[in-house]
A and B are shown apart, each in its own frame.
Chain A
Amino acid sequence: AQSVTQPDIHITVSEGASLELRCNYSYGATPYLFWYVQSPGQGLQLLLKYFSGDTLVQGIKGFEAEFKRSQSSFNLRKPSVHWSDAAEYFCAVGRMDSSYKLIFGSGTRLLVRP
C-alpha cells in the first residue's frame, strides 16, 4: 500500500538559515510527488511537483526538491528561510495510472526564529 512519512512533526530554524524537510514514501510504481504549503486558516498551495525527467525540481518561493528513487525520498529544501515561510508543509504521492488517490503525509510545521 502507498504511504508517505514526514518524520519531523515540528522544525524550528532561524531566519536566513537553510531548511530541509524530509519526505519518504512507500510505493510500488513510479510516483507523482508533490509538496504543498498551508498557512494558518488557509487552504493548501502547491509549491512544486515531480512527474518525470530532471530529479531536481524548482518550485515557487525559492523552494526546490530532489527525487531520489534509491532512497524513496523527496526532500524539500530552501537555502535561506524567511519569516513568511512559517507554515505547515505537506508531502504527497500519487500514482501514474488511472487511480485518483493522492496520499498525504501528516505534515511538518515550520517555525522561524527572528
Chain B
Amino acid sequence: NAGVTQTPKFQVLKTGQSMTLQCAQDMNHNSMYWYRQDPGMGLRLIYYSASEGTTDKGEVPNGYNVSRLNKREFSLRLESAAPSQTSVYFCASSEANRDRNFGPGTRLTVT
C-alpha cells in the first residue's frame, strides 16, 4: 500500500499562474484534508472533505478551491497564485475524525 501520495513534489510558479495539487489515498478512508505548513505556525487546515461528495472550508481557505473527485482523490487548486501561498502543502486522510495519515508534501514557491 502506498498510503497517501501527492504530486508534484516541488513546484515553482509565477504570481498569477494557476495549478492543481493532486492527492490520492489507497486506505479506503472517507475523510481527506489539505493543510499548509509555514515556519513557526504548525499545520493549518485549508479545506477538508468529510466524505465523498462533500467539502468544507478550514482555517485558511482564501485563494484555494478543492475537488473531491472520488473516494480516493482530493485535489487542491490555486487559481491565481500569490507569494503568500509559498508553503509546503500536505494532504492527509483519516477514517472519520481520527488520526490523520499524511502524504510526503508538495513544496510550492510563488515568485
Give the interface of A toward B (CB within 8 A).
4, 9, 32, 34, 36, 41-46, 49, 90, 94-96, 98-102, 104-107
A and B contact pairs by CB, cutoff 8 A, 18 listed: A34-B99, A42-B104, A43-B102, A43-B103, A44-B43, A44-B90, A44-B100, A44-B102, A90-B42, A94-B97, A95-B97, A98-B97, A100-B48, A101-B58, A102-B45, A102-B100, A106-B41, A107-B42
Interface: B40 (CB within 8 A): yes
Residues of A with C-beta under 8 A to B58: 101
- Which of A34, A96, A102, A105 neighbours the largest number of chain B CB atoms within 10 Å of its CB? A102
The residue on B at minimum CB distance from A105 is: B42
The residue on B at minimum CB distance from A99 is: B97
Interface: B75 (CB within 8 A): no
The residue on B at minimum CB distance from A95 is: B97
Residues of A with C-beta under 8 A to B105: 41-43
Interface: B25 (CB within 8 A): no
Tier of interface size on chain B:
20 to 34
Q: Is B42 in contact with A101, judged by CB distance below 8 angstroms?
A: no
**In whole Å, how far is B104's beta carbon from the nearest beta carbon of chain A?**
5
Q: Which parts of B7-30 form the interface with A (CB within 8 Å)?
A: none
CA A46 to CA B45, docked complex, whole Å: 17
Give the interface of B toward A (CB within 8 A).
4, 31, 33, 40-45, 48, 50, 56, 58-59, 90, 97-105
Residues of B with C-beta under 8 A to A4: 42
Residues of B with C-beta under 8 A to A32: 97-98
CA A51 to CA B98, docked complex, whole Å: 9
The listed residue (A42, A96, A100, A105) touching B56 by CB distance below 8 A is A100
**In whole Å, how far is B101's beta carbon from the nearest beta carbon of chain A?**
8
Q: Is A100 in contact with B42, judged by CB distance below 8 angstroms?
A: no
CA A32 to CA B97, docked complex, whole Å: 9
The listed residue (B40, B97, B99) touching A106 by CB distance below 8 A is B40
Residues of A with C-beta under 8 A to B99: 34, 46, 49
CA A49 to CA B94, docked complex, whole Å: 14
CA A9 to CA B30, docked complex, whole Å: 34
